[in-house]
Amino acid sequence: MSDPQRREFLAAAGIASLAALGGAQPAAGGDPSFMNNVPDPTLAGKDLPTFKFALEKSDGKVIGNSYGKEATVAQLPISKGIAGVSMRLEPGAMRELHWHATAAEWAFVLEGRVRTTVVDPGGLAETNDFDPGDVWYFPRGHGHMLQCLGDKPCHFILIFDNGYFSEFGTFSITDWVGHTPPALLAKNFGLPEAAFATFPKEEVYFARGNLPPAEPSKPLQGWKLPPQTHKYRLLAQPPHATYRGGREWRVDSLSFPIAKTITGVVLDLDPGALRTLHWHPNADEWQYVVEGEVSVTLFGSHGRYRVERLQKGDVGYIPQGYGHSIENVGSGPARILIGFNAGIYETIDLSQWIAANPKDVLATNFGQPAEVFGKFPDRDVFIAGKDGAAR
């Protein structure tokens, strides 16, 4: 969908939302940004809703020793902009050939090795092998599969740029073929109907077979590679930045051009360290705690403030523009995987905002002597150590 088409679609959706909220009229001028003033019923109450979901403790979809567990608006109603899935594949298992009609897919490998294939609308295809710390991105609607590589299980986190997306409502190839009349399949592929007699009649979802070969096999059509790779080795890179209290790895479309709608961050916080108060003007934020225990705060205006404690395997969600922080409150290091539904990373930190103003403005704003603000940081802190921001 082109940008003009998308704006028209969003404008129409916003007008429909306004009507549903009681007949309020859209702002004049046709600017779709007026939709930002339409209260989201989930966030319009006097108290902020929970923004935490215990993903790894949920039941999910289990077949054999493979599973998929999802966090969408069905499980976490606040998470309308981003959905996530924790998936584990046993050796010899494959998340079968499928596509997502309503979301792009971004993934981070936690354990084991994964092989993927993906095809684009031009018939160009790529096969890649992934290790822990690697990332993939598949644009919306592109067909792909995910396969455990080697004799050990693999575990990865999938992030989708649509909170209404459901991993269990994707378009799987066995489901499609199994429900298509054999005569139509025969005509489509130029084969006798009998060729499809033993094909699955229902969705397989997790397919099982022999361990895949160590090196990728050549596709039926031969190698026809796309101009942009779907793979990025995030943790093989040096950190984007290192601070007194932690480190941050970051990948957006500037370094991974195909990932036009999702940015990913791996945030390491030392014990007691704080990802300082900030907000993201252009994206929602989805958090998955890889290791440790963190306290996440959420500020929603009009005195609304909520704190959630997230442990390993939990998910947190921050709506676009809402103030928040992440603090390591455990005894050991914490690692948080963070996804944003925008291709460019943007943040405004409270320390940066303060530092961008003169003392007299701050004195008037807070009703304090100007000299008080000479003690504040004169730069963005981003991560503060356990003893606070360094001067």
User: 144 an active-site residue?
Assistant: yes
- Could you give the 3-state DSSP secondary structure of residue 70? strand
> How far, rounded to the nearest angstrom, does the alpha carbon of residue 292 sit from its chain's CA centroid?
20
Catalytic residue among 88, 100, 275, 278: 100
Angstrom distance (rounded) from CA 268 to CA 328: 9
Catalytic residue among 70, 96, 126, 167: 167
**DSSP character at residue 50:** P
H-run or E-run covering 335: strand 334-340
User: 105 an active-site residue?
Assistant: yes
User: 98 an active-site residue?
Assistant: yes
Q: What is the dihedral of CA 351, 355, 359, 362, to 10 degrees?
A: -40
Catalytic residue among 96, 105, 248, 285: 105
State residue 154 phi and psi, 5-degree precision: -125, 155
Cβ–Cβ < 8 Å for 59, 122: no
End-to-end CA separation in angstroms for the chain: 48
Angstrom distance (rounded) from CA 147 to CA 222: 20
Beta bridge partners of 66: 63
Angstrom distance (rounded) from CA 76 to CA 49: 10
Angstrom distance (rounded) from CA 371 to CA 366: 12
H-run or E-run covering 79: none
Two tokens at 178? 């199994």
Q: What is the dihedral of CA 373, 377, 378, 382, to 10 degrees?
A: -140
Nearest to 126 by CA among 113, 143, 111, 109: 143
Angstrom distance (rounded) from CA 369 to CA 387: 25
Angstrom distance (rounded) from CA 181 to CA 177: 8
Catalytic residue among 88, 96, 98, 324: 98
- Could you give the 3-state DSSP secondary structure of residue 318? strand
Mind spelling out the 3-state secondary structure of 137-165? EECCCCEEEEEEECCCCEEEEEEECCCCC
Catalytic residue among 70, 88, 95, 230: 95
User: 167 an active-site residue?
Assistant: yes
Catalytic residue among 144, 250, 278, 280: 144
Two tokens at 235? 């943790």
The catalytic site residues sit at 95, 98, 100, 105, 144, 167
